[in-house]
Amino acid sequence: MNANRKLHDLGQSLWLDNITRNLLKTGGLRRYIDELSITGLTSNPTIFDHAIKNGSDYDDAIKSKLAQGKSGEKLFFELALDDLTQAADLFRPVFDRTSGVDGWVSLEVSPLLAYDTKATLAEAKDLHARANRPNLLIKIPGTKEGLPAIEEAIFSGIPINVTLLFSDEQYVAAAEAFMRGIERRIEAGLNPDIASVASLFISRWDVAVASKVPEALANQLGIAVAKRAYKAYLDLLRSPRWMRSYNAGARPQRLLWASTGTKDPKASDVLYINALAAPFTVNTMPEGTLKAFADHGGVGAPMPMDGGDCEEVLARFAAAKVDVRALADQLQSEGAKSFVNSWNDLLSMIGSKSAALKRAS
């Protein structure tokens, strides 16, 4: 039994942080499902940018959509929906077998809308309707402006992947937005069984402080923040407020570990996978990390439910002049800007590729 299967059997869902047309066409995703215990996937603009730019797999589809008068953002979303609906269909048996707990794929709204509540909600509704798949999550950033859109989307019955979370405080704010949407559905007599995950980014913490703390603290901050958030997650799950909603038919929002590829070349390539083993969570990992864990990963004791040594570790960072709360806000702000840059790069690349394909035809 490989390490991926052991981690799955521990109770953690393994999702792939990648989607390409080639992965679908060659049967690679099917093999990951069958052999490496993958039960879902996530996507983002950078993933699509690399996939479209570094090959010809999308060229025929782009030419076809150009002939239909599509361009720019509209053309991209059609390409993304083509891929993600195929992936959703591959994961549909998992979705059915787990009664909707697992088997999800994710599509992100335009990052340009991160601070526009009304436009974010409108695009979330549109993309979900166009996908027409029960196992597609719409990704909405957990920014201050994104929280009302998350609440409204949940109330509207749209499954949501809350992205761009960096701390336990940001996670709790997103979880409460989810719960408000669920409670409003219960009050309105609507089915409260709406799925959601809350994505906490891990490795960016360690990148942010790599040059600012002693070597002894290297690659420890992201894991400590995750442990603190895991405790907050479990505290919410067993709170009277959440239990009342479960009793009315709601399902829990699951905590998801994102950004779990190791950035430090001196550290283990499965550092975060080993450390973040926790039942009833999701770990979405890059393709290289997935393969590395299957090859030489190990599954030890699960993450402590009480946060373990997180407060001790975080106190050491505080002594090293790291303000974790302020850094969380900075990382979220920088993350939103990075998403916008990736989105602009994607649309620019689609524009240049479209022009080249027109010239060649």
Residues noted as catalytic: 139
325: left (phi over 0), alpha (psi -120 to 50) or beta: alpha
As a dihedral over the C-alpha atoms of residue 150, residue 156, residue 158, residue 160, rounded to 10 degrees, the angle is 10
Token look-up 């996937």 returns 41
DSSP letters for 309-323: THHHHHHHHHHTT--
Q: Give me the amino acid identity at 88.
A: A
Question: How buried is 331 (Cβ within 10 angstroms: 0-12 exposed, 13-18 middle, 19+ buried)?
Answer: buried
Residue 59 neighbours by CB distance under 10 Å: 14
Q: E strands, the chain, where?
A: 13-17, 38-42, 105-108, 136-141, 160-165, 196-201, 254-258, 281-285
User: Contact at 8 Å (CB) between 167 and 229?
Assistant: yes
> Tokens at residue 177, please?
């937005």
